[in-house]
Amino acid sequence: MGFNQLIKSVAVAVAGAFAFSGAAHAAEITGAGASFPYPVYAKWAELYKAATGNSLNYQSIGSGGGIKQIKAKTVDFGASDAPLPQNELAEAGLTQFPAVVGGVVPVVNLDGVTPGQIKLSGQVLGDIYAGKITKWNAPEITALNPGVKLPNEDITVVYRSDASGTSYVFTSYLSKANADFKSKIGAGTAVKWPTGVGGKGNEGVAANVQKVKGAIGYVEYAYVKKNKLNYTQLKNKDGNFVSPDDSSFKAATAHGDWAKTPGFAVDFTDAAGKESWPISSATFILLHKEQAGDGAKGKEVLKFFDWAYKNGGKVAADLDYVPLPDSVTKLVEDSWKSNVKDSSGKAIW
């Protein structure tokens, strides 16, 4: 074989190798949004790749960022703790479904108290975030905590600085529990806080609370456990003080009707039930109803969440999220069949 023939044969072999490598390359999907579910999505992604070889690259940038990115089609799916209303979903051509349930938890940095020792009500928590209660030994707090030595220390409020579904859940609860908070601040992914310091993401709020003595913040419960934060009890709608955990989150979800709620946007904040955690919430996935081309990317997203529903329940529970019951995942997957289609209008699930 001459030199030119040798070079040609090597080139063909290399091209063939690259072609084979490309054909065998595992799928990768991208998502962005809520930091609330990031711990469980990260763990699911790790296990999914080990099981299937396929990858999920998820960026914890806050619900507002996730909504912007999915609308701009720069990611394969968006994630938001604040469910989008039906008109916004329709305008953007999106479908929405829940992934998992968790809880938003007040956390404090106070010397001399143990996790769960401090008790708060929605009324008092709203007054703290409205800037009306400014000292830890204020009468309103001491009345809820007989026998607890509370310091004569300023309260530093920590809030989310980014557009946040966690803030939406938190402010929705405070708006139900505190009429003054509702009228002056209200519920939203980004509200005008009258006092305090901001932190980006659940991660940023957790970090600020850890740094500042006398601080109070709100984060998803997985961040409480991961960072060993000092959480509070809360007085629920039935008048009982409850602690945050998967059982109290699950108790709250017993009071929602998934089947009859458009977009699965069930509101679990301030739910009835003696064991219900009052700031419980589902977190949601946003996906374009019309997928490009043959819908391969969209199908990969649905395959990931189908796998998570079937195989990720224990992982979610270990992180103190609540897996969706089988009856709900069936409703969700039925919605995929009717809502998500390729560019020719053919269902991809």
pLDDT digits (tens, 9 = 90+) for 94-147: 999 999 999 999 999 999 999 999 999 999 999 999 999 999 999 999 999 999
Furthest C-alpha separation in the chain? 95
145 vs 119: CA distance, rounded Å? 6
How far is CA 20 from its chain centroid? 39
The whole-number pLDDT of residue 256 equals 86
Note the CATH architecture for domain 25-102+282-339: 3-Layer(aba) Sandwich (3.40)
pLDDT category, 9, cuts 50, 70, 90?
very low
> What's the residue count for the chain?
349
pLDDT at 32 over 60: yes
Residue 108's Cβ-count burial label (10 Å; 0-12, 13-18, 19+) is buried
First CA to last CA distance, the chain:
52
CATH topology identical between 25-102+282-339 and 104-254+267-280:
yes
What is the mean predicted confidence (pLDDT) over 290-314?
A: 97
41 vs 46: CA distance, rounded Å? 9
Token readout for 222 is: 């997985």
The whole-number pLDDT of residue 16 equals 37
Q: What is the mean pLDDT of the chain?
A: 92
pLDDT digits (tens, 9 = 90+) for 67-82: 999 999 999 999 999 9
Helix (H) or strand (E) holding 327: helix 326-339
pLDDT digits (tens, 9 = 90+) for 189-245: 999 999 999 999 999 999 999 999 999 999 999 999 989 999 999 999 999 999 999
Note the pTM of the prediction, 2 decimals: 0.88
pLDDT category, 8, cuts 50, 70, 90?
very low
pLDDT at 258 over 80: yes
Q: Which of 102, 126, 238, 220 is nearest to 175 (CA)?
A: 126
Which residue has 């916004």 as its token pair? 88
CB crowding 72-85: b at 16 or more within 10 Å, else e: eeebbbbbbbbbbe
In DSSP notation, 161-225 reads SS--HHHHHHHHHHHHH-HHHHHHT---SS---SSSEEESHHHHHHHHHHHSTTEEEEEEHHHHH
Beta strands in the chain (DSSP E): 28-33, 55-60, 77-80, 94-108, 119-120, 156-160, 197-199, 215-220, 230-231, 233-235, 241-242, 280-288
The whole-number pLDDT of residue 29 equals 97
Three-state DSSP at 241 gives strand
The whole-number pLDDT of residue 349 equals 97
Kindly state which CATH superfamily the domain 104-254+267-280 is placed in: Periplasmic binding protein-like II (3.40.190.10)
* DSSP letter (8 states) at residue 263: G
Identify the bridge partners of residue 234 per DSSP, sorted by sequence position: 120, 242
The whole-number pLDDT of residue 26 equals 75
Identify the bridge partners of residue 105 per DSSP, sorted by sequence position: 219
pLDDT digits (tens, 9 = 90+) for 84-105: 999 999 999 999 999 999 999 9
Residue 205's Cβ-count burial label (10 Å; 0-12, 13-18, 19+) is buried
pLDDT category, 20, cuts 50, 70, 90?
very low
Report the percent of the chain where pLDDT is more than 90. Answer: 90
Domain coordinates in residue numbering, the chain: 25-102+282-339, 104-254+267-280
CA atoms within 13 A on the CB side of 271: 27
In Å, how far are 93, 155, 269 from 177, measured between CA atoms? Answer: 34, 20, 10
Check: CB of residue 219 under 8 Å from CB of residue 202: yes
pLDDT at 1 over 70: no
pLDDT digits (tens, 9 = 90+) for 181-197: 999 999 999 999 999 99
Check: CB of residue 236 under 8 Å from CB of residue 213: no
pLDDT category, 25, cuts 50, 70, 90?
low
